Structure 1
């Protein structure tokens, strides 16, 4: 593969700093994780956005979270069609092999993927409408959420759609037979969160009020 290049020097320096400090100070723990395998308590599905750092938000240690990131923290509906399904594969592995106790969807403010969905659904992003657009076809998952908020005032619509991305994902999770079985059997719980990046806020979905409330 001729196009692969050595890492930028700043990343090499950061690695050596980590190896000399964090890894060295916790060497026994890292070796235990390697020898005994992972037993994460929860799966976290969050956005690819570089500003969303779930391990920092929750102060998580290595081995605690099984993390999957994608554009706009979306879970597609269950669809065993034999095609490529990275998110579905991650969910299957977490639930059936790792047997996590929780699956947590984490949405966030100022999500570019959600804005793209909004622009596409309002006719302002023709490039995303193209069949060849990977982002556009992925954001089709969120179209049902847009339909639920499209009549809101424009000033409220984007934030509401960010939270719909969490709800649509929770709804789609329950279409997976192994997820439904684990939830209904009391073996696993689902959770929906929304993170306000600028304010450091975190809200969780309350099914009794059908609203996101501050934690």
Structure 2
């Protein structure tokens, strides 16, 4: 019951902040949403994109799944994720898409150290096959590195895979080519507290927000 009481108390604070202290915000949102950002993040409970970015209601259209993956545009693509991307890009006409990965991702760890299915279903394993080519490349190219280093490399590479897969959606690619949509790859290092962003020019992840000195 402690969790439930915490959630109810949290909603009361939310209600006070957005319906009493700032009634105009939801007044404007009742007519519809116009977020300018689509964020594709992980389901991990430690990585809440709204909390991490300090966003208000209406700022961000969020899609969360295991390991923040984007399936390629194929007839068998996951309708849940693909339909959310389609809605955000084609109907809401967002101006940017951020793929937000993070350190110590359980989905990537399961991909890098697979086990036989433990249940009658294997939905997690089926989903993580999207990133199988990345895992195989990391194992091949970094065979001499530790498992932690391989996991870290796979976390970063899976973000780039998702960015590439976004461009397989023709309507999304057109908006990118027309200059109406920007794609971003971000990585939250929950060990240090840093936020990294992929630089296509330098072909590496660089700090957007450096860790606090105390985090070292």
Question: What TM-score does the superposition give when structure 2 sets the normalisation length?
Answer: 0.87
Partner of 1:180: 173
Match of residue 213, structure 1, among 190, 206, 209:
206
* Alpha-carbon distance between aligned partners in 2 of 1:33 and 1:21, rounded to the nearest angstrom: 15
Contact 1:144 1:168 in 2 (8 A): no
Q: Which runs of 5+ in 2 are unaligned?
A: 209-216
Q: Which runs of 5+ in 1 are unaligned?
A: 1-6
Alignment of 1:52-201 (within 5 A): 52-81=47-76, 85-120=79-114, 125-127=115-117, 132-151=121-140, 152=142, 153-154=145-146, 155-201=148-194
Contact 1:114 1:161 in 2 (8 A): yes
Structure 1 residues 131, 161: closer, same or farther in 2, change over 3 A? farther
Give the aligned CA root-mean-square deviation in angstroms. Answer: 1.9
* Alpha-carbon distance between aligned partners in 2 of 1:18 and 1:174, rounded to the nearest angstrom: 37
* Alpha-carbon distance between aligned partners in 2 of 1:99 and 1:22, rounded to the nearest angstrom: 25
Partner of 1:14: 10
Question: What TM-score does the superposition give when structure 1 sets the normalisation length?
Answer: 0.88
